[in-house]
Amino acid sequence: MAKASTQFVCSECGYVSPKWLGRCPDCGKFNTMAEEPIAPAAPAGKGASAQRRASVQPVPLSQVRYESYERVSSGISELDVVLGGGIVRGSLVLIGGDPGIGKSTLLTQVAAHLSKTHRVLYLCAEESCSQVKLRCDRLGVNSDNLLLLNETCLENAEEAFFEAEYVVVDSIQAVYTETLSSAAGSVGQVRECAAKLMRIGKSRGITFFIVGHVTKEGTLAGPKVLEHIMDTVLYFEGERTENFKILRAVKNRFGSVQEVGVFEMTGEGLRGVNDYSTLFLSDSRGEAAGAVVTPGETGNRCMMVEIQTLMARTAYGLPRRMPLGIDFNKLVLLIAVLEKRCGIPLSQQDIYVNAMGGIRLIEPSIDLSLCAALASAEKMRPVDKFTAVFGEVGLTGEVRGVAFAEKRVNECVKMGFRRVVLPAKNAKACEKFKGKIELVPVQYVSQMIKALFPRREA
């Protein structure tokens, strides 16, 4: 009988089994066994390993030389920003996101731009060549330097990779390697294919763009299992039905992970949006209770984002908490702070929160504005449309200082806001804006509530 070349390893505890099992006998978890190739045994003989060890030498820090990263523009300035200033030669870039959000469109545009000066290969494992050509026609692309290959087996496509400088793999879930017998798209296949692409890329200096679909759970067989192999991981956010898409760097060995790019899907492909100033604000701002604007910071820019909340009396025992674009735990925590520290009753209210425009807010600096929006909705009193709020909130109800306070206030001034509620700790640094905008420094959440919702005269 032929010796098995693969084994199944539990991704939770590392248990090894020669055959697939639904449940790991060691840790008891279900669906965790992933196929892996068995590494060939090290060559026998002392001589070989001694020779190999002699060539392994550590280098003193002072003698390590800088590598200069050659960067090439992708032709889309928003993407260059997210990549940290352009595409780095020989890097592995993963673009993740829900199906239909525009990953193939973006990479077709990038491939088209690069093909003006370089040899580019587009490995279309999901679509046929004619489908890709159809998209190219739509995007107005035509080039002889852009090669299409419809192949799902990596070993068969390998030869073609060597000819190109840039390769787009669309998508990693659709390709497979012959070393494993499991189906394309399984955890083992996705990981092994990515590792193979990395070896090819690093040894030959080929730049890979890899498309990865996010599954419903966001993890299984998705881009999550290969984040550690990649140099750069970008995620497309936003609803499929919405025109604006946000590209966010979640890992970048050559740049900041704070960067965000804003794109608009048009009839001629994705277009970078430079004028994002009013994108995340509603037209009827300031009219309804429960909406507050906060200056969000993304590394290279500030954007004013509106947070909207809606409250309705709980019909059943347990109140609902439904945040969109905001962390669930953050919302629950801030509700508790408002109840306990400010005496605002929220335990009998269903609460819905939404960050405008489909953006995801992850900074701690949005805490205070979320509190303001919740208080505004509960009191049914709108917040003035020219007032912005930012600051981090602690469990004791104190308002902590945040990073980039000056930049945020500056953005508020630029956008025509007249008043900004900010942490007292940041007030000193922002004094220079005093003539241009009213600064309301607060130390506690309760102070912010008093400032925004003063007692009405009887």
State the residues that interact with Mg ion by CB under 5 A: 104
Smallest gap from Cβ 122 to Mg ion, in A, equals 11
3-state secondary structure of 251: strand
Distances in Å between the Cα of 231 and the Cα atoms of 84, 211, 295 are 12, 14, 30
Residue 436 DSSP code = T
Q: CA nearest 373: which of 258, 262, 282?
A: 282
Residue 326 corresponds to which amino acid? Answer: I
Q: Choose between 98 and 306: whose C-beta lies nearer to ligand TYD.
A: 98
Residue 449 contacts residue 337 (beta carbons within 8 Å) = no
Q: Choose between 127 and 192: whose C-beta lies nearer to Mg ion.
A: 127
Tokens coding 81: 């920003």
Q: Which stretch binds ligand TYD (CB under 6 A): 81-89, 92-100, 255-263, 388-396?
A: 92-100
What are the residues facing 297 on neighbouring strands? 302
3-state secondary structure of 231: coil
Site string for ligand TYD, 345-384 (x = CB under 6 A): ----------------------------------------
Smallest gap from Cβ 111 to ligand TYD, in A, equals 12
Tokens coding 33: 């066994």
Residue nearest to ligand TYD (CB): 104
Smallest gap from Cβ 421 to ligand TYD, in A, equals 39
Residue 280 DSSP code = T
Smallest gap from Cβ 17 to ligand TYD, in A, equals 35
Tokens coding 296: 């969000």
Q: Choose between 103 and 191: whose C-beta lies nearer to ligand TYD.
A: 103
Residue 135 engages ligand TYD in binding (rule: CB under 6 A): yes
Q: CA 208 to CA 200: how far, in whole Å?
A: 9
Residue 96 contacts residue 234 (beta carbons within 8 Å) = yes
Q: Which stretch binds ligand TYD (CB under 6 A): 7-15, 263-271, 334-342, 410-418?
A: 263-271
Q: Choose between 18 and 100: whose C-beta lies nearer to ligand TYD.
A: 100
What, of Mg ion, ligand TYD, none, does residue 138 touch, CB below 5 to 8 Å by kind?
ligand TYD
Q: Which stretch binds ligand TYD (CB under 6 A): 101-109, 190-198, 280-288, 422-430?
A: 101-109
Q: CA 103 to CA 27: how far, in whole Å?
A: 37
Q: Choose between 168 and 344: whose C-beta lies nearer to Mg ion.
A: 168
Residue 407 engages ligand TYD in binding (rule: CB under 6 A): no
Residue 100 engages ligand TYD in binding (rule: CB under 6 A): yes
Residue with tokens 């587009």: 122
Residue 259 contacts residue 300 (beta carbons within 8 Å) = yes
What are the residues facing 246 on neighbouring strands? 237, 262
What, of Mg ion, ligand TYD, none, does residue 333 touch, CB below 5 to 8 Å by kind?
none
Smallest gap from Cβ 128 to Mg ion, in A, equals 12
Residue 446 corresponds to which amino acid? Answer: S
Q: CA nearest 73: which of 92, 91, 83, 87?
A: 87
The H or E element that residue 210 is part of is strand 207-213
Q: CA 107 to CA 167: how far, in whole Å?
A: 10
Residue 102 engages ligand TYD in binding (rule: CB under 6 A): yes
Q: Choose between 18 and 99: whose C-beta lies nearer to ligand TYD.
A: 99
# chain residues binding ligand TYD, by CB under 6 A: 15
Residue 23 DSSP code = B
Q: Choose between 103 and 113: whose C-beta lies nearer to ligand TYD.
A: 103
Smallest gap from Cβ 175 to ligand TYD, in A, equals 15
CB-facing half-sphere around the CA of 394: CA atoms within 13 A: 9
**Contacting residue, 9, 76, 82, 103, with ligand TYD by CB under 6 A:** 103
Peptide bond into 171 cis (omega under 30): yes
Site string for ligand TYD, 39-78 (x = CB under 6 A): ----------------------------------------
| Interacting residues with ligand TYD between 221 and 250 (CB under 6 A) | none
What, of ligand TYD, Mg ion, none, does residue 155 touch, CB below 5 to 8 Å by kind?
none
Residue 18 engages ligand TYD in binding (rule: CB under 6 A): no
Site string for ligand TYD, 139-168 (x = CB under 6 A): x-----------------------------
**Contacting residue, 47, 267, 343, 435, with ligand TYD by CB under 6 A:** 267
Bridging pattern class, strands 166-170 and 146-149? unpaired
Q: CA 85 to CA 320: how far, in whole Å?
A: 43
Q: Phi and psi for 51 in degrees, rounded to 5?
A: -65, -45
Q: Choose between 125 and 197: whose C-beta lies nearer to Mg ion.
A: 125
CA 88 distance to own-chain centroid: 19
Interface contacts to ligand TYD, rule CB under 6 A: 97, 99-105, 135, 138-139, 265, 267-269
